[in-house]
Amino acid sequence: MASNKIKINDIARLAGVSATTVSHIFNKRDKKYRISPQTRQKVLSIAQQYSDQPHIRQCIIKANSTDTIGVIVPDMSNMFFSLFLHHLEASFRQKNIQLLITCSHYNRDVEIKVAQNLVERKVDAMIVVTSLDSDQFYVGINEHTPVLFFDRYLKDTTLPFITSEAIKSVSELIEPYAKQLDEFYFIGCDIQLTSIRARLEGFKQGLAKAGLTFKSDWLVSDDYCPNKGYQLLKMVHEKLGRLPRAIFTPSGNLLQEVLSYLVEVKVEPKHICLCSYDYNIHLDYSYYPVDAITQDYQSMAYTCVNVINKLIKFKELKSNAFLIEPQIIRHR
């Protein structure tokens, strides 16, 4: 060959077929033009020998793509994940890519199993809200199927991740109220997760900026399960003999459960200050005013699409961390 760069005509000659046939195979038109599976396999096997050349590797990837992306979330009933999935599905649909959405139910064994199932279905890439403590499992998958972490990420991971900024926004959210109070409780769960730890760090910084010294008793946390926010607030109520003067919850689910307890004990809105991460439009009509941080679902979805597109095409990412700016919505 005159050049080291192999061309479609070269692969066609080596396979004993026409260049048009190779083009149909590379562009997934082989079934439309009734090209036999044997011919397809022969062409791709020859192309694989030259997969070190980027343009050939791209052709192989396109020929083998399933136009599906696997998504793993822990809880589809969680409003945050539901809204995110709504925007994510719409964004990928515009590119004629289908999502295969699975749920881990916060169970690590289930998460590993559903991830393996997605690999067996030959998804082109995976977007994962993980509950694992290490990225080792997904680093292995990433060798053949690109993996993008969403919302939660693992410390020191080399895999790319997308999440909302939390430290600065949470600090700004609570600071004005911390200046007026002598206590502020953090009712949270799963604080070992990086996303929750960032919200806790923002909470502490907001207190410090307001001149309020954080006390360990104000951090009330446990592993998450349904209705845990209700149980944690009830425990604090019984321990103090009164309700806290101010509460921050790091997620919408926990806020909903806290509100459920407040309604049950019939506390007056003026007697408690509520702040939370994860705004929901229902808060606009809540009996209890809640200042909340709303995440930019649309930007997060678009960023996921762009990053996945680059990962599939083996394009280099300038950074593996993508932090999306949220907004504060005040009701007080």
Whole-angstrom distance, CA of residue 194 vs CA of residue 152: 6
| Side-chain half-sphere exposure of 46, counting CA atoms within 13 A | 20
Domain annotation for the chain: domains and CATH numbers: 8-64 (1.10.260.40), 68-163+297-324 (3.40.50.2300), 167-294 (3.40.50.2300)
Query: Which stretch of DSSP H or E encloses residue 321?
Result: strand 321-324
In tens digits, the chain (332 residues) has pLDDT values of: 445 788 889 998 999 999 898 888 888 788 888 889 898 888 888 988 987 887 887 787 777 788 999 999 998 888 899 999 999 999 999 999 999 999 999 899 999 999 999 999 999 999 999 999 899 999 999 988 999 999 988 888 999 999 999 999 999 999 999 999 999 999 999 998 899 999 999 999 999 999 999 999 999 999 988 899 999 999 999 999 999 999 999 999 999 999 999 999 999 999 999 999 999 899 999 999 999 999 999 999 999 999 999 998 878 899 999 999 999 999 98
319: Cα separation from own chain's centroid: 17
Question: What's the pTM?
Answer: 0.83
The enclosing H or E element of 56 equals helix 54-64
